[in-house]
Chain A
Amino acid sequence: MLRPRITPCLLVHKGGLVKTVGFKTPKYVGDPINAVKIFNEKEADELVVLDIDATVNNTEPDYKMIANLAAECRMPLCYGGGVKSPEQAKRIIGLGVEKVAISSAAVEHPELITQIADEIGRQSVVVVLDVKKRLFGKDYDVFTRNARTNTKCSVFDLAVEVEKLGAGELVINSIDMDGVMKGYDLALAEKIRQAVNIPITILGGAGSLDDIEALIRACGVIGASAGSLFVFKGVYKAVLINYPTMAQRDELIRKALC
């Protein structure tokens, strides 16, 4: 049976790992390589690393850091941040990364998705859409540049478009839920699951393993990604990297899918 994926998402800011709330107030939580080593030991399903500076500062991806992460990482790795061209994506894949995530550039220049898919294969192209619920109605706007720019595009329209253009995976990142740790936006997840037929991953809101179980129960085989949950412990948010054991994951999935 193909299993739902439970994926830690790590944010890189000024060379260190941070965790944000609502895409703001980055709090330092440690060193990226050290975190990869811990997730290796925990045998995590896969890992997402997003450099949140590269696009905003208009810099190249930090290839040296990516190479170091990829060499250390014994689980599938997805890198995102500052990727604007097929050449960059190809170079990153060449460093030993399985998937390349594009976000702002994909929204601003959708043809880029096809160009990158042609270069590295669509299975390795991940499009990340940062979304915020509209004040009125049930739709969600897609934002770019760390939630600074509202494109006013509906996430559901864009999701379908992105699939058509050649994305191999869609990550929906909820700005409203980021760092809140009160559970995923299940209504959003269910509507996205129905809208596209590529693997999807939901990020934003997980505060406990029960939240992950609820997402899998609602959507079936899906990617459940989380930041805060896997880097903080306890009500005071002490930094402690943690991740469920294989037996805990199996039990969680068994309960969710029964």
Chain B
Amino acid sequence: MIHVVDYGLGNVQALLTMFKRLGFDATRAKTASDLNEASKIILPGVGAFDHAIELLGRSGMRSVLETLVLKNKVPVLGICVGMQIMGTSSEEGRLAGLGWVPGKVRSFRSNERSAILPLPHMGWNDVQPKSGLPIFAGLESDARFYFLHSYFFECDEPSHVAAVASYGIDFSCAVSACNVHGVQFHPEKSHHFGAQLLKNFAVL
């Protein structure tokens, strides 16, 4: 069963509705015990980095998630800030991230080529996935997704970059490290492109 982590951030309902439409069982996890049966995990999120880390801590689910993801290797998909907090740190905040994917979250404002563009980066942009990744199956060409953010993930390890998008600079808009996946864009709000990606994740 797919468990969508509800720690007070992100569009849990939209994800549940989407999975239902696609024919997969998905449920909302609000407490640590809700996660017992999780065979797939979605970690959504919007807003500020520190706020997200704090709320996840307060939800009581953080340590169970760490066990499931790091020890039991349960596939997890972070979305937007849910992806960013999987990194080590962020220019947006002072707290440490979960550290599931080594990398730093940077601001578009700290690069002169993206800082001159309107921020946040908002709207539909092309996504160029690395070839051969199951999570991007069927999305190898002409994939576009909805973005809404001013910070982006910078992987320490280039092999963890799963897809690239461009906004003044090329940035990693998706990461993949073993069972840990993350996307900066919103698959739950990206029509058939997003549906395809969530389906790919569900059958991993």
Interface residues of A (CB under 8 A from B): 1-5, 40, 43, 45-46, 67, 70-77, 93-96, 98-99, 120-124, 168-169, 196-200, 221, 223
Interchain CB contact under 8 A, B191 and A43: yes
Complex Cα–Cα for A93 and B117 (A)? 26
Complex Cα–Cα for A8 and B189 (A)? 15
> Whose C-beta in chain A lies nearest to the C-beta of B17?
A71
Interchain CB contact under 8 A, A120 and B47: yes
User: Can you sample 9 A-B contacts with CB below 8 Å?
Assistant: A1-B166, A5-B124, A40-B191, A74-B14, A74-B189, A93-B47, A98-B11, A123-B122, A197-B119
Interchain CB contact under 8 A, A5 and B12: no
A residues in contact with B126, CB < 8 Å: 1
Interchain CB contact under 8 A, A198 and B119: yes
Q: Sort chain B's interface into a size bin.
A: 35 or more
Instruction: Report which of A2, A40, A77, A93 forms a contact with B46, defined as CB distance below 8 A.
Output: A93
B99 to chain A, nearest CB (A): 22
Main SS at interface, chain B: mixed
B residues in contact with A197, CB < 8 Å: 116-119
Interchain CB contact under 8 A, A74 and B191: yes
A residues in contact with B189, CB < 8 Å: 73-77, 98
> Whose C-beta in chain A lies nearest to the C-beta of B167?
A2
Asked whether any CB of chain A lies closer than 8 Å to the CB of B8, the reply is: yes
Interchain CB contact under 8 A, B125 and A2: yes
Interchain CB contact under 8 A, A3 and B119: no
Query: Contacts A71-B17, A123-B148: A3 and B11 contacting too (C-beta < 8 A)?
Result: no
